Amino acid sequence: MANLELSIVLAKDNYVVQSGKSTYIQAIVKGWIKPKEKILLWSAEKGSVDKNGKYIAPVVNEDDVDVVTVCCAEDRAVEESIGIQIVFTESTDEFVQIGEIKPIGLNGRYAINIQCLNKKQFGHKCSIIITDYDQEAETILPDATYTKEPSDSESKPAPGVIPIRKWSEFQIQVKTSKMGFVSIHLKPFTEKIRKLHVRIKGSTIDREIILKGPKPKIELKKGAGFWANALQI
């Protein structure tokens, strides 16, 4: 006769693991009476997990998600699932220097030019995350509708790339060309200042980019004098 009081209790609902790395998932059977009822069986959709709950993530080329299921060995209908976030990481040794992270433009209209270099100072294809933290205003990040692939020209970055994934309205992920170039065209804005963060995956690069908006228009008041009008800025 099945024990209707059995349930699986998880220590956490989700885990974050680097590509190819491992972690231990903790779970117990609640309400067991017979010793066999407290034995757990584990399975994973993409990675592997042993009888002790040690999970090993698969090697991935970009961030991924796995699902681990744990059930009672005596009654397999008693089960729970855990979400596993697999984080892709590249070797930081390849990113000794970032050749360029530079905003081009003025008055609220900008593009960000980026070049990734490996330790031999050659272009290196890498993944870049751009985050717009000003969520009270409309994002200036481009939509996922670029039509041109990255350029391999050393003299001129491409006018746009197709994002690998648009994570949210305020964050995109793009790849450079094989020579390490990418140019990200931002939407125009009217605020005085906008701030973005640029992160190079697999490196310690996390830079704040400050962009200036359009200069305010000055309405000169007749008869007010030069200094009175100048102070309106």
CATH of the domain at 171: 2.60.40.10
Check whether residue 78 and residue 101 sit in a common domain.
Answer: no
Check whether residue 172 and residue 62 sit in a common domain.
Answer: no
Check whether residue 74 and residue 131 sit in a common domain.
Answer: no
Check whether residue 110 and residue 193 sit in a common domain.
Answer: yes
Domain CATH for 17: 2.60.40.60
Check whether residue 47 and residue 110 sit in a common domain.
Answer: no
Q: In this structure, is residue 227 part of a structural domain?
A: no
Residue reference for tokens 């066999």 = 36
Task: Identify which of 192, 211, 205, 88 has the alpha carbon closest to the alpha carbon of residue 141.
Answer: 211
Check whether residue 17 and residue 83 sit in a common domain.
Answer: yes
The Cα diameter of the chain in Å comes to 97
Give the per-residue pLDDT at 203: 73
> 158 lies in which domain range?
92-212
DSSP for the chain, written as a single string: ---TT-EEEES-SEEEEETT-EEEPPEEEES--SGGGG-EEEEESSSEE-TT-EEEPPP-SS-EEEEEEEEESS-TTSEEEEEEEEEP---GGG-SEEEEEEEEEETTEEEEEEEEE-TTS-B---EEEEEE--TTS---SPPS----PPP--SSS--S----SEEEETTEEEEE--TTSEEEEEPPP--SSEEEEEEEETTSS-EEEEEEE-PPPP--PPTTS-HHHHHTT-
Check whether residue 58 and residue 118 sit in a common domain.
Answer: no
pLDDT tens track of the chain, all 233 residues?
455 688 999 988 889 998 889 999 999 999 888 888 889 999 999 999 999 999 999 988 788 999 999 999 989 999 999 999 998 876 555 555 677 788 999 999 999 998 888 777 788 878 888 988 877 788 898 876 544 444 554 444 445 455 556 667 788 888 888 788 888 889 999 999 999 989 887 677 788 899 999 977 666 556 555 555 455 54
Give the per-residue pLDDT at 25: 93
Q: In this structure, is residue 195 part of a structural domain?
A: yes
Q: In this structure, is residue 222 part of a structural domain?
A: no
Going by C-beta distance under 8 Å and a sequence separation of 6 or more, which residues neighbour residue 215? 107
Q: In this structure, is residue 98 part of a structural domain?
A: yes
| Separation CA 181–CA 113 (nearest Å) | 7
Tokens of 149: 């692939």
Contact 188, 107 (CB under 8 A): no
Q: In this structure, is residue 179 part of a structural domain?
A: yes
Check whether residue 51 and residue 148 sit in a common domain.
Answer: no
Instruction: Report the DSSP pairing between strands 7-10 and 40-44.
Output: unpaired
Check whether residue 44 and residue 138 sit in a common domain.
Answer: no
Check whether residue 113 and residue 208 sit in a common domain.
Answer: yes
Tokens of 172: 């995109």
Give the per-residue pLDDT at 189: 94
Model confidence, pTM? 0.50
Check whether residue 21 and residue 108 sit in a common domain.
Answer: no
Residue reference for tokens 């050749």 = 99
Q: In this structure, is residue 223 part of a structural domain?
A: no
Check whether residue 114 and residue 205 sit in a common domain.
Answer: yes
Q: In this structure, is residue 232 part of a structural domain?
A: no
Tokens of 201: 């995956």
When divided into structural domains, the chain yields a total of 2
Q: In this structure, is residue 191 part of a structural domain?
A: yes
Query: Among residues 39, 66, 87, which one ends one of the domains?
Result: 87
Give the per-residue pLDDT at 163: 58
